[in-house]
Amino acid sequence: MALPYSPTPISPSDEVWSVTELISTAKQVVDDGFMPLWVRGEIGQCKVWPSGHWYFNLRDRKSQVRCCMWKRDAERAGSPPKDGAEVFVLARPGIYEAKGEFQLNVYRLIPTAAMGRQQQELERVKAALHQDGLFDPTRKRRIPQFASTIAVVTSTAGAVLRDIVTVSRKRWPCATLLVLDARVQGGGAAGDLSHALALVNRLPKVDLCILGRGGGAREDLAAFNSETVCRALARVRVPTISAVGHETDVSLTDMIADLRAATPSAAAELALADRREVLRQLNDLAARLAGGLTGRTRLAAERLTRTADRLESGASAVLERHREMADRLAAQLDALSPLRILDRGYAVPVAPDGRILKRRSDFVSGSSFRLRVTDGDVRARVE
Amino acid sequence: MTTSIADDLTRLEEIVRKLEADEVELDAALALFEEGVGRLRAARDRLTKATLKVQAVLEEAGDLRLADLDG
């Protein structure tokens, strides 16, 4: 139901809300109106339920608010707070609809006494960054598969750069590392790091940024928890990897970066493709390329054979036609042959010198000649 | 420079896929094969002959300058 911005209704018949409508509308207003926030107060009436949830009040001199902390968050907080303890809670205000109560849903609870000044500052920064959505998982960008130019923000004095160079040389020597030197601990470290990170955005061509330092005492990592460094890191235009300290240390920059690496060497491994892997990929492609062409030529060869077959059968048809024609012509020639005349009973007189005797005057009395008949010669004499 | 290795890999995949799928005439297939071999050779060369470049980014009077560092 919409909020009653219209003039006050005069009678119940104008507009009536159910309690549920009222509470759920109020809940919506509260949900929309508050982000998670840190609240300081004193614990009262803390009760641990068998379910593992904690319920308590948080109060100061003037007001108090109901709080509940779900089992999962309560377990992380350790032992339940004692009544009267001064605490910070990270909570989101809400309405408990069944009772119509305004309450805080508490995610974290830290006794103020347990927190040193630095820790308080860390919590403050974390809350501020959280409020601005810088821990939002949807902000995370993908690390490019083939980074070519990598900006490395670290101290050139430490072993970090050497580790990164060693790994890079082994994995992907095609890369270029652009090193931005910065102090990584002590006064001035936060300023140096923020400045170096800002310079990364001014480099004309860069694919990825690694922010790194080796392990150290918790206090030495303070610069990597500073708000300015975190915000500078969040502003870097290219994907970022934070590699600060050893595996057990997590800094705020680790949470802001697109990817966290346990160590600087691990950062280089995450940042760069592996040359051997790519060479293997190239070998596979080479084999498939050759196979593809062989297959393709085999197809072409088959097509050629089929064409040749067709050609050959065409040619033999032509030959057959010519053979038939030749037979026919031969038969005609045969019919015209003089030998065929002899078949019919005619005979040809031939003189001994081979001359054919055609007239009476060719026949001299007493002379001999040959008479050629169809199957040979017959000797004869003129009377 | 290495982005072209990424390009090479993408193009090689494309060439191989075309050859395997019998999408092209023999002439074109031969040309694709030749291109593929060229790209393979270039990519292998780049990967085996490259040396890592390490440079320091220096800021001088507000301008950025690169200087070689001994890796």
In tens, the pLDDT along A183-216 reads 988 778 999 999 999 999 999 999 999 999 887 6
pLDDT tier for residue A2 given thresholds of 50, 70 and 90? low
Spatial distance between the Cα atoms of A185 and A263, rounded to a whole number of angstroms: 17
A147 close to B (CB below 8 A) = yes
- Among residues A173, A152, A180, which one has the least CA distance to residue A264? A152
Whether residue B19 contacts residue A289, with contact meaning beta carbons closer than 8 Å, is answered with yes
pLDDT at res. A341? 67
- Among residues A197, A161, A193, which one has the least CA distance to residue A177? A161
Over residues A25-54, the pLDDT tens digits come to: 999 999 999 988 999 999 999 999 999 999
pLDDT tier for residue A7 given thresholds of 50, 70 and 90? low
Place of tokens 């870097």: A236
pLDDT tier for residue A246 given thresholds of 50, 70 and 90? low
pLDDT at res. B1? 43
Q: Which of A145, A176, A293 is the closest to B53 by Cβ?
A: A176
Q: Which residues of A touch B9 (CB under 8 A)?
A: 278, 281-282, 285
Spatial distance between the Cα atoms of A259 and A251, rounded to a whole number of angstroms: 12
Q: Which of B6, B16, B53 is the closest to A146 by Cβ?
A: B6
A370 beta partners: A350, A379
- Among residues A368, A369, A371, which one has the least CA distance to residue A342? A371
Q: Which residues of A touch B50 (CB under 8 A)?
A: 173-174
Over residues A64-102, the pLDDT tens digits come to: 999 999 998 888 777 888 888 899 999 999 999 999 999
pLDDT at res. A30? 92
- Adjacency order of strands within the sheet including B53-60: A259-260, A240-244, A208-213, A149-154, A176-181, B53-60, B63-68
Place of tokens 């291109």: B35
pLDDT tier for residue A358 given thresholds of 50, 70 and 90? confident
Spatial distance between the Cα atoms of A266 and A14, rounded to a whole number of angstroms: 68
Q: Phi then psi for A109, rounded to 5 degrees?
A: -140, 125
Q: Which of A279, A295, A299 is the closest to B47 by Cβ?
A: A279
Would you mind telling me the total number of residues written for chain A in this entry? 383
pLDDT in tens, chain B (71 residues): 444 788 888 898 898 888 888 777 778 888 888 888 888 888 888 888 888 899 999 988 888 889 888 64
Q: Which of A147, A174, A285 is the closest to B16 by Cβ?
A: A285
User: What is the count of residue pairs from A and B with beta carbons less than 8 Å apart?
Assistant: 115
Closest residue in A to B22 (Cα) is A296
- Adjacency order of strands within the sheet including A368-373: A348-350, A368-373, A376-381
pLDDT at res. A339? 63
- Among residues A194, A239, A167, which one has the least CA distance to residue B54? A167
A291 close to B (CB below 8 A) = yes
What mean pLDDT comes out for the span A129-157?
92
- Among residues A269, A271, A259, which one has the least CA distance to residue A137? A259
> Cβ of B59 and A199 within 8 Å?
yes
pLDDT at res. B2? 46
What mean pLDDT comes out for the span A214-237?
85
Looking at the complex, report in whole angstroms how far the Cα of residue B23 sits from the nearest Cα belonging to chain A. Answer: 9
Radius of gyration (C-alpha) of chain B in whole angstroms: 19
- ipTM of the complex as predicted: 0.82
Whether residue A278 contacts residue B10, with contact meaning beta carbons closer than 8 Å, is answered with no
